[in-house]
């Protein structure tokens, strides 16, 4: 069984801080149920929710279950069993009494078992209470006989300085190896697949360098706007919300050298090296955008969001080009693009290979390997094929590994499920290390400060567009060559 030395004797208490909030109900509890349902939680586990509001246990359980889907009677029974494992304690984040009550509730569970008493503290909390809560937990609710794991969610600061402050405040009470910084993209199936694709396929490994790869694009698109979250979003903007964490994490995995082993420190050592080889971005490296209302008037613009100041220049779209100054990647543009209120929902990694040298066939275009992270997970390789029939021209076709066809009977776990399982197992490979965070902020901080100081104006784009009008020429200007007359439909034969 996962995460415990002696499954018959040890106990595990998972404490969800911010248990009455959106993240907990939407992600944490459903993920814990997913693990429970599939037999991936330790046998003696109890889940204690903690938040400021007073909520009756029955009501709390009702709220937890209202966000969990069950597909049949057996799952309904399992959900009832799961709910019995969920309790709730209310208390403050900045006073010891609440945490002492929490500790007493955990001890009540633990005293039934003779083995070690492990605790996982999952902080689904706003940044304002982050520091007092982590301190209060360490002082009042820390297990003295078993492992303690503190799971933290972004934002990890707003720039290098605030991130360092936060790191120092955490480090005053917690060891780095007890801290699990979540970037939920690292729990996505296709992001986890990247290392296997690269390091377990000889032909891909052999072509994975500047001699064979022309450019890399990592794209995140969301068809929704800020939808009332504008007040929060405006403080951060799309670069901090998506690019500095989710997309940069993907970039490091695409670019890193093969780690010595799969051990967390070996993997993260390689990722840090990539980040340290990237120079800080300047305004010349980016294209910024902000969405306006849709033409038909149905969708509001960013500035119409009640929480957003009318003169806000916060970008809701950003594209940036990165160069990695090392032997493998020198000169290869890594183009990262992300935006809200765009034409579709899609995250993908697109590796475009070099032109065929000394080409002799009409119609040949660059190969591309596309890893479709979501939705409709897939890996497809665009390759030049003889046009079937009497022509001997090349035509672009693809080898298509669409999960809906190849793995139709497998349910892909939610990213949070996969990451919470890692926490229970004590595997930190898919979590962000402190020096990794530092190196990431170093790349973005000068740019972010300049944008804010000089109020750099983003280019407007209409709600539902592909991005700002200059996007295509910007991307092409950085080396990407669009394949002519080609389109791919996920899983379609």
Chain contacts with ligand BG6 (rule: CB under 6 A) = 184, 222, 241
Cβ proximity to ligand BG6, 241 vs 434, nearer residue: 241
Minimum CB distance to ligand BG6, residue 241 (Å): 5
Count of alpha carbons within 13 angstroms of residue 22, beta-carbon side: 2
Spatial distance between the Cα atoms of 59 and 55, rounded to a whole number of angstroms: 7
| Structure-token match 């959900």, residue found | 79
Angle between helices 29-37 and 73-84 (to 10 degrees): 120
Give the Cα separation of 141 and 106 in Å (integer).
Answer: 8
List all residues 6 or more positions away from 477 whose beta carbon is below 8 Å from its beta carbon: none
Rounded CA separation 57/440 (Å): 42
Q: What minimum distance in Å lies between the beta carbon of 238 and ligand BG6? A: 8
**d(C-alpha 167, C-alpha 386), whole Å:** 56
> Which of 118, 184, 214, 246 is flagged as catalytic?
246
User: Phi/psi zone of residue 13: left (φ > 0), alpha (ψ -120 to 50 degrees), beta?
Assistant: beta
3-class SS of residue 15: strand
Whole-number Cα distances in Å, 95 to 13, 136, 166, 174, 426: 21, 7, 19, 18, 29
Q: At closest approach, how far in Å is the CB of 419 from ligand BG6?
A: 12
CA distance 127 to 69: 30
Residue 464, classed as helix, strand or coil, is coil
Lookup result for tokens 């909390």: 125
CB 37, min distance to ligand BG6, A: 21
Percent helix, strand, coil in the chain (nearest 5)? Answer: 40, 20, 40
Ordered strands of the 213-221 beta sheet: 394-402, 378-386, 368-374, 346-353, 213-221, 334-339, 317-322, 286-292, 459-462
Name the residue nearer to ligand BG6 (CB basis): 222 or 348: 222
Verify whether residue 246 is a known catalytic residue: yes
The nearer residue to ligand BG6, 222 or 438, going by C-beta atoms, is 222
Distance CA 278, CA 291 (A): 29
Q: How far is the CB of 217 from ligand BG6 (least distance, A)?
A: 17
Dihedral over Cα of 249, 371, 229, 453: its sign: positive
> What does residue 439 show for φ and ψ, rounded to 5 degrees?
-65, -35
Residues annotated as part of the active site: 246
């Amino acid at each position: 069984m996962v995460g415990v030395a002696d499954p018959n004797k040890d106990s595990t208490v998972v404490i969800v801080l911010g248990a009455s909030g959106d993240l907990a109900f939407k992600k944490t509890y459903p993920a814990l149920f997913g693990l429970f349902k599939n037999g991936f939680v330790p046998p003696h586990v109890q889940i204690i929710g903690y938040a400021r509001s007073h909520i009756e246990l029955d009501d709390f359980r009702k709220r937890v279950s209202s966000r969990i889907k069950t597909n049949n009677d057996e799952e309904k029974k399992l959900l009832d069993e799961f709910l019995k494992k969920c309790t709730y304690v209310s208390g403050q984040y900045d006073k010891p009494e609440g945490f002492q009550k929490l500790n007493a509730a955990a001890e009540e569970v633990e005293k039934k078992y003779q083995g070690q008493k492990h605790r996982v503290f999952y902080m689904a909390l706003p940044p304002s209470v982050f520091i007092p809560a982590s301190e209060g937990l360490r002082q009042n609710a820390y297990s003295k006989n078993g492992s303690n794991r503190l799971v933290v969610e972004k934002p990890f600061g707003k720039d290098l300085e605030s991130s360092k402050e936060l790191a120092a405040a955490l480090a005053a009470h917690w060891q780095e190896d007890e801290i699990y910084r979540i970037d939920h993209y690292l729990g996505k199936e296709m992001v986890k697949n990247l290392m296997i694709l690269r390091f377990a396929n000889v032909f891909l490994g052999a072509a994975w360098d500047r001699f064979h790869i022309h450019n890399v694009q990592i794209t995140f698109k969301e068809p929704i706007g800020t939808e009332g979250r504008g007040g929060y979003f405006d403080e951060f903007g799309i670069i901090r919300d998506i690019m500095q964490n989710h997309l940069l994490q993907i970039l490091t995995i695409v670019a890193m050298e093969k780690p010595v082993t799969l051990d967390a420190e070996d993997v993260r050592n390689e990722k840090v090296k990539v980040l340290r080889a990237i120079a800080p971005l300047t305004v010349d490296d980016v294209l910024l955008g902000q969405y306006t209302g849709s033409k038909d008037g149905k969708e509001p613009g960013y500035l119409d969001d009640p929480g957003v100041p009318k003169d806000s220049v916060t970008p809701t779209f950003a594209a940036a080009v990165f160069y990695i100054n090392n032997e493998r990647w020198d000169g290869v543009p890594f183009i990262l693009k992300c935006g809200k209120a765009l034409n579709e929902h899609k995250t993908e990694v697109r590796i475009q290979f070099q032109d065929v040298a000394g080409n002799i066939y009409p119609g040949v275009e660059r190969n591309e390997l596309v890893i479709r992270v979501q939705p409709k997970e897939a890996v497809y390789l665009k390759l030049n094929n003889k046009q079937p029939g009497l022509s001997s021209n090349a035509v672009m076709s693809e080898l298509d590994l669409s999960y809906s066809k190849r793995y139709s009977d497998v349910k892909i776990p939610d990213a949070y499920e996969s990451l919470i399982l890692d926490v229970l197992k004590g595997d930190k490979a898919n979590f962000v290390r402190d020096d990794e965070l530092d190196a990431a902020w170093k790349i973005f901080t000068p740019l972010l400060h300049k944008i804010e100081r000089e109020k750099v104006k983003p280019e407007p784009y209409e709600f539902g567009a592909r991005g700002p009008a200059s996007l295509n020429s910007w991307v092409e200007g950085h080396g990407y060559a669009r394949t002519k007359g080609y389109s791919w439909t996920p899983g379609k034969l």
